[in-house]
Chain A
């Protein structure tokens, strides 16, 4: 996307997590799982967040969007594109929003009155897909400020998995790795080219039946069935070449990337991926693998991790970050951006 007269940049990001924290051992102890599986050791997930009564994807998304907006000097009326990327769109009563787009309702709640609003659905890669569309709109001059937002209320799939005999339904075990959370990004125009760059996006559709999320047929709420090991192998087998191609395509130098984030299906999986990345590309300056207490929050994971890094004081203005995203399908894409100016001062 370099070379056009207009350029885009990330103005802010934010995540919003529900307050209730649930320890992994409270629902996935070795006694609960087939072959006395030590789930915490296997995944590295210690806990996740869950919504309270009255909260769902919508409330989480609105919380993240408000926070992201408060970190800019943009008024809601200035936003002219809102893209929602939630997979779940699930309310506190386990009802799934279908139409009109969730983005329309989020914009309405935030009094964003002048924006085009629609949803992108690309599983856990949804937010990066949405960011790619938003960046393109800004580059082409069709849009000035964009809000890309997602709220994920997905922990009901934990309850669904727990209702199953996991010996008989091993593909439900991956459902125990999720958490609720939300993220939002604000994009705006920039005079500087290259503040945000995208890799070539890939969908390795040979894996499109390896992770299926849909309504549970016997109870209220969703279910997910995952061939986790095969899916992880699909990522690991292709990650090296993907990174090599992406870094060349984005005209970057690997050793100049300050912060790296992967989609954290589990902290253990991120470590495996990092090993492949180091073998192919060299040492990673700073791998942020901090989802142990938030788990896999689907499309919102990168935003959640960025927020944790910001709160820890790791992020500085104009440093660079690479987000690598994987989503059921199997979608793989990456974005590289310069961190927003003033990021170290955000409250």
Chain B
């Protein structure tokens, strides 16, 4: 599928995902040995955005603030495309797969991947640790290769949802998690890693990245979303 050429991740505060993403993106692009204008695709994966923003895609802000081919179309200008994907905490794998889907068709060799969430408003109860992860993805090169991503919806609990709403009593926007979930704990073995079921996307990817340097063969990374659905990425080193 695709190769992760470089990556950066850090814990962030309640907000500040964009600021962190830009900082990490500059480092990751530099570490990959490419220039920002060689990026032709920017994909963000996550669930929660500041003020429950729905448009434009978060990825457009990364592209715009990094100034990657965003100033109009000419007959011979280079292009960059940006969009978001979301599927609970499985969003990182969906984002990687979307990059793998589109990169071969685009006139570019590199994509920028950003994973992370912002606490939507100050009224939201936020028990999560937020992480921002940025990676440069290519079709080939040196780095961990994502060989496959499989999905499993067989354990889906459809009522285990998160929903944004306006709380009239405090005149503010919050979100609520519905359904009762007995969270699966973190699991790890020689070639397998699964994070805690209550982690957000960014933490899943951050913790996975901490393990990369310790492996020289393969590592399966499974993310189980709060809803029970899961994705498993097979990485080859």
Contacts and interface: CB of A to CB of B under 8 A. Distances in A.
Given A87-B55, A118-B86, A1 B105 contact: yes
Nearest to A98: B162
B58 to A, nearest CB: 8
Interface string A226-250: 0000000000011001101100000
Contacts of B72: 204, 206, 237-238
B84 A121 contact: yes
B15 interface: no
A105 interface: yes
B169 interface: no
Given A123-B55, A213-B53, A213-B54, A140 B229 contact: no
B171 interface: yes
Contacts of A329: 55-57, 60, 82
Interface string A78-103: 00000000011100011111111101
Interface of B: 42, 47-57, 59-61, 63-64, 68, 70-75, 79-91, 94, 98, 101-102, 104-107, 120-121, 151, 153, 156, 158, 160-166, 168, 171-173, 175, 225-227, 229
Contacts of B55: 87, 121, 123-124, 211-213, 224, 327-329
A213 B52 CA distance: 9
A214 B85 contact: no
A96 B56 contact: no
B166 A120 contact: no
A174 interface: no
Interface residues of A, number: 73
B87 A203 contact: no
A103 to B, nearest CB: 8
Contacts of B101: 133, 136-137, 140
Interface stretch (A10-18, A215-223, A265-273): A215-223
A241 B162 contact: no
A204 B81 CA distance: 8
A245 B85 contact: no
Contacts of A1: 105
A118 B85 contact: yes
A21 to B, nearest CB: 25
Contacts of A94: 165-166
